[in-house]
Each structure stands twice: as C-alpha cells, then as structure tokens.
Copies of this chain bind each other. A is one copy, B any other.
Amino acid sequence: MQQRVSFITLGVSDLARSRRFYEQGLGWESSRRGSSDGVVFFQMPSGLVFALFPREELAKDAGVKNTPIGFSGMALAYNVHEQHQVAETLQIAEKAGATIIKPAQDTFWGGHAGYFADPDGFLWEIAWNPHFELTPDGRMILPE
C-alpha cells in the first residue's frame, strides 16, 4: 500500500448542522458536484477529501454496530504559522458553535496548542509547533 489517505469521513448525527459548522462556521467550501443531501465532501489541497456522512449510515455501510458517541479515539490537527493564531483559531471555532475543550496553552513538547470539539465531539487540536515545518501554503513537513 502506498503511504497515503484518500478520505477522512466523520460520521455525524445531524448532517445539516455539521455542514453549517464547517461551511459557515469555519469558512470551508464544499464540493457542489460531489456533495448531495446525503453526504458532503470538502476538497483539501493535496488530494485529500474530508467528508461528512450520517453516523448511522457509516456504521451500516461498514457493517459495524453504531455504539453511543464517546471519545472517538482520534484527533485531527490544524497547525498554524504563528503562536497567537492558536487562540484566534479557537475563537473562530467557538463562535461557530464548537466546544472549547482545552484553551490555548504552552505544551510539554515546546509548542502552543488547544483543542475544540466539533458538534459531534470530534476533537480538533489547533497547534503551533516550532519543531516541524509548516509551509506558507499549509503543508506539514516532518524533519528529514
């Protein structure tokens, strides 16, 4: 297998609510031709697709039991270029209806970060990391 991910799909309990959160709240633009009433796709630069799909249908599609919502065991991260953008980005998310789980603060690994939860509780870490390169166009590059 090549070292890549094609889609990240979040199973959400209210697709319209989640769509509003990511579109109007965070300012993302969904794909008009790809999306429908039943699924919403966001093209990420770099050939990754971020998708919202009803949680029940995701469980059904995979053939797994739809257990109650708890800790997903997973976090997505959005890295920023400047330390002060951590708090600013968390504010944007909070205004959009996110729950601030951990306010912006210095981290044990020498960075600055905080967490918000999206409408379904999915964790997003907003982080400033002085050790890893974040290119001007937003690509995260690990040290060689």
Contacts and interface: CB of A to CB of B under 8 A. Distances in A.
- Listed residue (A42, A67, A101) with the most chain B CB atoms within 10 angstroms of its CB: A67
Contact of A70 (B31, B67, B76, B101): B67
A29 interface: yes
A125 B57 CA distance: 14
A31 B141 CA distance: 10
A47 B3 contact: no
Contact of A1 (B46, B89, B120): B89
Given A59-B71, A102-B63, A49 B2 contact: no
Contacts of A122: 73-74
A55 interface: yes
B78 A1 contact: yes
A10 interface: yes
